[in-house]
């Protein structure tokens, strides 16, 4: 069933965002309210200060609630990322007896359950499972097996796991404000859904969300998620490099980065100069802008190289005709596209923002929040209860309704 209003939370390393949206026949979703607050209490997907995280979450959710009719906010759809998150491919199989009978909803649940029967270390748990493809009697590429005749049903599922304590801390920070989790959604998946078209997901595409503390990577192919990674590095490292090397406050480094920064030093003219206020100095000192950009380039090149390694690790580099899509606040540095093009040879690269929204300094940092809302509203073919476990852990959704529009 389609929910009426969904409320999502993106717990970023630099900010916490709450967004409420509803389904819209024209645009897919209509954003009803969005609120962000700077927050340093969730670093790279893990809560580092429970009280502060709870306060930030409570504050953004309250502000969103004020913009909506009373009691519009239900349980929250929450994005999760970080290096404790892992994705693995699960395989499920179920014989259909008597052979050739019609496949039922129950068969689909059972085969997905089978694919989720993966033994995990005691400190980890499953947080999401996405059916990628069904096979009926070996025939690949089936998206909806219900009603088909067959003797054997198979499924390939993308199973997302995370560290139990990290997940419990997120749930705890949310519950301290009296809210509950509706479901946890992989952040790289959400960023992808926030900026990609269904056609790109069909063709094959990489989405790279360069945030403050994380660089989230998701590869989509044949209309579903094929690979994901959450690298513990982001644009805040660029800021700290600048503040360390130029001996400035973090605020001055951030200003220099966002005002004069660029990911490729060679595109900056040699004669350009910027004023840098160093700590303990009475007046700003001039610095060649190119030197500033060399510092930035070195860190951004490291990020791009790590992304290339992940794309190679996925083994999907030859299946990405829709190229590389950059988003996230960190992708707003000029020439980032060019740097990624140089690093990820043979891939076309472009930077995108989700649907334009007013009231925030930039919307590239909103890709995850918009994607969470689209996931909750447009991936409504919920297969539940698939796991037999209570609560949000029960829910299994595919991207099929999103990519097919049905």
Ligand X SMILES: Nc1ncnc2c1ncn2[C@@H]1O[C@H](COP(=O)(O)OP(=O)(O)OP(=O)(O)O)[C@@H](O)[C@H]1O
CB of 288 to ligand X, least distance (A): 19
CB of 44 to ligand X, least distance (A): 6
Nearer to ligand X (CB atom), residue 187 or residue 387? 187
Note whether 376 and 200 are within 8 A (CB): no
User: How many residues make contact with Mg ion (CB under 5 A)?
Assistant: 3
CB of 209 to Mg ion, least distance (A): 6
Letters for 336-375 (x = contact with ligand X by CB under 6 A, - = none) are --------------------------x--x----------
> Mapping DSSP to helix (H, G, I), strand (E, B) and coil, where does residue 274 land?
strand
Residue 333 interacting with ligand X (CB under 6 A): yes
Residue 211 interacting with Mg ion (CB under 5 A): yes
Question: What contacts 138, CB < 8 A, 6 or more positions away?
Answer: 152, 154
Residue 236 interacting with ligand X (CB under 6 A): yes
Note whether 16 and 9 are within 8 A (CB): yes
CB of 213 to ligand X, least distance (A): 4
User: How many residues make contact with ligand X (CB under 6 A)?
Assistant: 23
Dist. CA 60–CA 359, nearest whole Å: 14
Note whether 225 and 192 are within 8 A (CB): yes
Residue 168: CA count within 13 A, CB half-sphere: 6
Considering only the stretches 194-202, 207-215, 240-248, 272-280, report the one whose residues sit in contact with ligand X under the rule CB under 6 A: 207-215
Q: How would you write 151-214 as a 3-class SS string? A: CEEEEEEEEEEEEHHHHHHHHHHHHCCCCCEEEEEEHHHHHHHHHCCHHHHHHCEEEEEECCCC
Which residues ranging from 150 to 209 are in contact with Mg ion (CB under 5 A)? none
Residue 232 interacting with Mg ion (CB under 5 A): no
Order of strands, sheet of 324-327, starting from the edge strand that comes earlier in the sequence:
224-231, 215-221, 205-210, 324-327, 349-351
Element (H, E) at 401: helix 400-404
Residue 211 interacting with ligand X (CB under 6 A): yes
Residue 107 interacting with ligand X (CB under 6 A): no
Residue 354 interacting with Mg ion (CB under 5 A): no
**Contact positions toward ligand X, by CB under 6 A?**
12-15, 211-214, 234-236, 239, 254, 257-258, 261, 328-330, 332-333, 362, 365
**Contact positions toward Mg ion, by CB under 5 A?**
12, 211, 368
């Amino acid at each position: 069933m389609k929910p009426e209003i969904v409320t999502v939370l993106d717990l970023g390393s630099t900010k916490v965002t709450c967004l409420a949206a509803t389904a819209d026949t024209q645009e897919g979703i209509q954003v009803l309210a969005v609120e962000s607050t700077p927050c340093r209490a969730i670093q790279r997907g893990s809560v580092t200060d429970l009280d502060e995280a709870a306060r930030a979450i409570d504050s953004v959710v309250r502000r969103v609630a004020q913009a909506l009719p009373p009691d519009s906010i239900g349980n929250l759809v929450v994005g999760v990322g970080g290096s404790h998150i892992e994705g693995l491919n699960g395989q499920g199989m179920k014989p259909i007896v008597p052979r050739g009978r019609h496949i039922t909803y129950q068969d689909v649940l059972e085969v997905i359950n089978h694919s989720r029967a993966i033994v995990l270390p005691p400190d980890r748990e499953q947080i999401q499972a996405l059916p990628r493809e069904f096979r009926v009697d070996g025939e690949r590429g089936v998206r909806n097996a219900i009603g088909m005749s067959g003797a054997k049903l198979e499924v390939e599922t993308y199973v997302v796991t995370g560290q139990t304590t990290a997940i419990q801390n997120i749930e705890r920070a949310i519950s301290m404000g009296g809210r509950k989790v509706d479901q946890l959604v992989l952040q790289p998946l959400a960023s992808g859904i926030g900026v990609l078209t269904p056609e790109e997901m069909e063709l094959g595409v990489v989405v790279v969300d360069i945030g403050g503390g994380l660089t989230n990577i998701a590869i989509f192919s044949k209309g579903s998620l094929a690979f994901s990674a959450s690298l513990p590095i982001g644009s805040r490292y660029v800021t700290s490099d600048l503040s360390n090397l130029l001996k400035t406050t973090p605020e001055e480094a951030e200003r220099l980065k966002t005002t004069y920064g660029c990911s490729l030093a060679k595109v900056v003219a040699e004669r350009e100069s910027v004023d840098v206020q160093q700590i303990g100095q009475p007046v700003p000192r001039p610095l060649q802008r190119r030197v500033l950009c060399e510092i930035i380039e070195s860190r951004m090149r490291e990020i791009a190289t790590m992304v290339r390694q992940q794309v190679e690790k996925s083994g999907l580099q030859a299946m990405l005709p829709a190229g590389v899509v950059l988003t996230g606040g960190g992708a707003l540095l000029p020439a980032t596209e060019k740097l990624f093009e140089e690093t990820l040879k043979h891939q076309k690269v472009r930077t995108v923002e989700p649907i334009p929204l007013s009231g925030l300094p930039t919307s590239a940092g909103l890709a995850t929040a918009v994607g969470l809302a689209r996931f909750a509203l447009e991936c409504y073919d919920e297969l539940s209860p698939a796991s037999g476990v209570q609560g949000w852990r029960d829910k299994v959704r595919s991207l099929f309704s999103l990519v097919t529009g049905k």
